[in-house]
Amino acid sequence: MGQFLIEGPHLPPLATFTFLVPLSLQCLLLHPVFPSRLSRTLRLLLTPLSLTLSFATPYRYAIEPRNQAIGVNFVFGIMGAYGIMKGLEWGLAQDLLPYTWVGFAGTTTDNGKDPSAKTPADRREAKKRRRAYLASLRAKQAQSDGPLAVLRATLHLLISMRGQGYDFCGTTTEPFALSQGAFLRRLVGEIAWAHPLLTACAAVLLEPPTSRDALLCAAWPALPVRHAHYLGEAMTGLAMGVAVFAALTLGYSLATLGACLGTLFLRHVVPFSLLPSAVLPPPFDPREYPPLFNLRRRPQSVALFWSHQWHSFFARPFRFLAFGPVQRVVGRIAGKLAGRTCGVLAVFALSAWLHEFGLSTAISTLPPPGSAPLSFLTKWGGSAYFLSQGVGVVLEGAFTALTGRKTRGWVGTVWAGLYVVCAGGWLYNAWLTQGLVREVPPVRWWAWQRFVVPMGCLLPPPVWMNAYPESYGLERGAA
Q: Which pLDDT tens digit goes with each residue over 17-70? A: 999 999 999 999 999 999 999 999 999 999 999 999 999 999 999 988 888 888
Beta bridge partners of 465: 446
- Give pLDDT, residue 479: 39
- Cα separation of 113 and 106, whole Å? 11
Number of Cβ within a 10 Å radius of residue 48:
12
Residues 358, 359, 360, 363, CA torsion sign: positive
The pLDDT assigned to 477 comes to: 43
Band the pLDDT of 472: cuts 50, 70, 90: low
Give the residue with greater pLDDT, 114 vs 9.
9
- pLDDT greater than 90 at residue 383: yes
pLDDT given for residue 81 in this prediction: 97
Concatenated DSSP letters of 60-118: H--SBSGGG-HHHHHHHHHHHHHHHHHHHHHHH----GGG-B-TT--S-BTTTB-TT--
CA distance 407 to 229: 34
Q: Which of 104-118, 170-184, 311-325, 394-408 has the weakest average pLDDT?
A: 104-118
Lowest mean pLDDT across 2-6, 123-127, 289-293: 2-6
Mean pLDDT of 252-267: 94
Question: Residue 439 in contact with residue 465, Cβ under 8 Å?
Answer: no
Query: 108 or 372: which carries more pLDDT confidence?
Result: 372
Q: How much is the pLDDT for 328?
A: 96
Q: Which long-range contacts (CB under 8 A, 24 or more apart) does 367-374 make?
A: 369/433, 369/434, 369/435, 374/433, 374/434
pLDDT band at 115 (very low <50, low <70, confident <90, very high): low
Q: pLDDT exceeding 90 applies to what percent of the chain?
A: 59
pLDDT tens, residue by residue, 301-321: 999 999 988 998 999 999 999
pLDDT at 187 over 50: yes
Please compute the mean of the pLDDT values over residues 132-153 and round it to a whole number. Answer: 94
pLDDT of residue 1: 36
CA distances from 12 to 3, 40, 387 (A): 20, 33, 33
Tell me phi and psi for residue 182, to 5 degrees.
-65, -35
Q: How far is Cα 57 from Cα 84, in angstroms, rounded to an integer?
A: 11
pLDDT of residue 2: 43
User: Where residue 467 falls among pLDDT bands split at 50, 70, 90?
Assistant: confident
Work out the average pLDDT over 282-298.
87
Mean pLDDT on 373-385: 90
Mean pLDDT for the stretch of residues 182-209? 92
Q: Please tell me the predicted confidence (pLDDT) of residue 351.
A: 97
Give the per-residue pLDDT at 366. 75
* Most confident by average pLDDT, 160-174, 198-212, 406-420: 406-420
101 forms bridges with which residues in the sheet?
A: 166
Average pLDDT over residues 408-419: 93
The mean per-residue pLDDT over the stretch 383-399 comes to 96
Q: Which of 28-42, 312-326, 368-382, 464-478 is the least confident region?
A: 464-478
Domain ranges across the chain: 1-168, 180-289+443-478
- Residues paired with 166 in a beta bridge: 101
Residue range 377-400: mean pLDDT, rounded: 94
Confidence of residue 85 (pLDDT cuts 50, 70, 90): very high
Percent above pLDDT 70 for the chain: 90
Q: What band does 121 get if pLDDT is binned at 50, 70 and 90? A: confident
Burial category of 355 from C-beta neighbours within 10 Å (exposed 0-12, middle 13-18, buried 19 and up): buried
395: exposed, middle or buried (Cβ count in 10 Å: 0-12, 13-18, 19+): middle
Range 447-474 average pLDDT:
82
